[in-house]
Structure 1
């Protein structure tokens, strides 16, 4: 099954503009397959910088690249050789041919900030996420249950998908985190990740995590920052303005991929999922991730909560205005809470949405629309 990635057009545009294009995303998300699929085999040279043999080829990168003046270079897992960024700076300045270098990485620019700063003005970054709803023909149930990693979503059976995800988690904890630069005890990290799953969609409580894990608060915050930078966790910040209310200032945390969340919670089939106490939190995270991955660069996501209890799961801010306040409910007939109405008033939201398990959109009252996630992304989001 061939799936067209939504990032294809932006990626091709970046290749026409920037000498280097950075494609970032979690491991096993399909970055290498995507890039190779857009480039003729005779036109590129592929180097996997996780392999010592390929890193050895770049001991003198200027000499190596000069041998192939008409080739495009795909440098995979570039975080394993951060010093290459400084070398590329001079090479690019000598020949600013667009699309010459395609840098693939499993760590965000923040994690390799010192190195990536070397290419400021010479590189454009894009992120490849796990599959999104539009990419899988809006098959929401399967995408929610299995998550969007290609080998998990496209598995020939639910059992195969579960086994792949279990192995991915174990390998990620025991091997990949260390390779990405986080030196931590694997058993401790497994407990940390499972604790994150248990509080998925809740406010971040570093003190509680530190106490439970027997480590310091700065250490547990460093773990969270690292997992966020490795694209495994989403940290959603609270909207905060100078209004006359006491607002919650702690962020909310989510496991970004719903399939990995379900595996961490032991939810291996759809019936178990929908009867689990965390079904609502899982649905909230799934919907939030689908929306956030569909936003343009000018729209920013937040959540809103006051100390008095008024809250909104997701705010979308554009040009300084809250263009949408969104409540997420896994229900066929969702109610509208007083707290949501207060949130809309406090934030002066232009529109309100309840994203629920419904087939047809309807408006229960002025300014608020109840809509399914597929219709929201396809029909409502472009209007905001």
Structure 2
């Protein structure tokens, strides 16, 4: 059993709030983690579970066991009932654990009925900071879904393709996605081809035969289902024209590679978009660790019209970190100098170059290090 990095944060919030909501994509390990905590378990997608929860409600509310309600967005009427039960004994914490795969619908229901009574934890697929038994390159290739290659490499990419088929034909339409399965799959493939690039909704809409507003609506939905990462641009007050469109990333690298028909590392290294794949993988790993450790920083990217850019800007409110991500194991002085120059443009206090170098080096404001060492530092 893989010890998930989110477990301590979930236990901490259960000790502070009557209810905790775990959000995250399907099959990322939410159910396994929740069941490891013990308690009464109800899966709202399983026939009879809703009726059983209704019948056992008073018994569960009076007991000391944790009540786990999986795929809670399937029964939105439950949130008002939870509010009444929680308010009847407001001082009792750690009573309910809700799991969900669709962020907007679940958060809407919770926010309307359980404001101030619930804490949120966003759970991602497996990261480099968790004991997966995989190398960094394997996790990059397969992605972080436990059944997508982490536990059995022979399942990649067949598992990813089956997962995407289930999402596009069943789950997404059930959750409210109005596009056809064929349209959703085509959209995902186009977004994969534009991975790490500024979004051009009009161009994508023309290729799909739909308007840009519809494209944006679909993208918002896919982002809410934890399939996409929308990275906004950072606006700096400098005398340069800036790119102001968000960058879109397929959040899980294994899903990206399946959409791009990658079979193995040899094929991956032969792609012209290799660097964007690596960049997206490290960005997602970084943001996963920050979420896992409840560290709050707002992520951006930065790019000027004349090509000065930062792959990731972390705004901590009181300071900013400028981060560049390179696949190289031998960073050049020119790359470091350019990082410092662009970091100055955004007023960054820390400059980080993440590459595959063996020995880290730097000074008070500059760090050149390996991604795994960087993630270990972030998680400490």
Shared topology, TM-score over 0.5? yes
Q: CA RMSD in A?
A: 1.9
Greater than 6 Å deviation, 4+ residue runs: none
What are the equivalent positions in structure 2 for 1:127-166 lying under 5 Å apart? 127-135=122-130, 136=132, 139-156=135-152, 158-166=153-161
| Contact 1:299/1:317 (8 A) holds in 2 | yes
Question: Structure 1 stretch 64-73 or stretch 298-307: which is displaced more?
Answer: 64-73
The offset of 1:189, in angstroms, is 0.5
The offset of 1:369, in angstroms, is 3.0
What are the equivalent positions in structure 2 for 1:110-189 lying under 5 Å apart? 110-117=104-111, 118-135=113-130, 136=132, 139-156=135-152, 158-189=153-184
Q: Does residue 224 of structure 2 align to residue 229 of structure 1?
A: yes
Q: 1:257 aligns with which of 252, 256, 281?
A: 252
Question: Structure 1 stretch 177-186 or stretch 221-230: which is displaced more?
Answer: 177-186
User: Residues of 2 paired with 1:327 and 1:137: CA distance?
Assistant: 27
What are the equivalent positions in structure 2 for 1:211-222 lying under 5 Å apart? 211-222=206-217
The offset of 1:250, in angstroms, is 0.7
What are the equivalent positions in structure 2 for 1:1-384 lying under 5 Å apart? 2-39=1-38, 44-58=39-53, 61=54, 64-68=56-60, 69-70=62-63, 71-96=65-90, 97-108=92-103, 110-117=104-111, 118-135=113-130, 136=132, 139-156=135-152, 158-295=153-290, 296-322=294-320, 324-335=321-332, 336-337=334-335, 340-363=339-362, 367-379=365-377, 381=378
User: Residues of 1 paired with 2:116 and 2:379: CA distance?
Assistant: 29
The offset of 1:111, in angstroms, is 3.4
The offset of 1:362, in angstroms, is 2.8
| Contact 2:72/2:106 (8 A) holds in 1 | no
Question: Structure 1 stretch 250-259 or stretch 137-146: which is displaced more?
Answer: 137-146
| Contact 1:353/1:370 (8 A) holds in 2 | yes
The offset of 1:367, in angstroms, is 4.2
Q: Secondary structure at the match of 1:93?
A: helix
Q: Secondary structure at the match of 2:276?
A: helix
User: Residues of 2 paired with 1:29 and 1:220: CA distance?
Assistant: 26
| Contact 1:255/1:261 (8 A) holds in 2 | yes
User: Residues of 1 paired with 2:51 and 2:364: CA distance?
Assistant: 64
Q: Deviations over 1:77-102 (max 9, x none)?
A: 01111121122111111123211111
Q: Secondary structure at the match of 1:46?
A: strand
Q: Deviations over 1:251-306 (max 9, x none)?
A: 10100100111111111111111121111111000000111111243222111111
User: Residues of 1 paired with 2:300 and 2:52: CA distance?
Assistant: 45
| Contact 1:111/1:226 (8 A) holds in 2 | no
The 1:168–1:216 alpha-carbon spacing in structure 2 relative to 1, beyond 3 Å, is same
| Contact 1:298/1:319 (8 A) holds in 2 | no
| Contact 2:134/2:150 (8 A) holds in 1 | no
The 1:257–1:382 alpha-carbon spacing in structure 2 relative to 1, beyond 3 Å, is closer
User: Residues of 2 paired with 1:134 and 1:114: CA distance?
Assistant: 31
Which stretches in structure 1 are left out of the alignment for 5+ residues?
Answer: none
Which stretches in structure 2 are left out of the alignment for 5+ residues?
Answer: none
User: Residues of 1 paired with 2:25 and 2:268: CA distance?
Assistant: 25
| Contact 1:155/1:161 (8 A) holds in 2 | no
User: Residues of 1 paired with 2:340 and 2:105: CA distance?
Assistant: 39
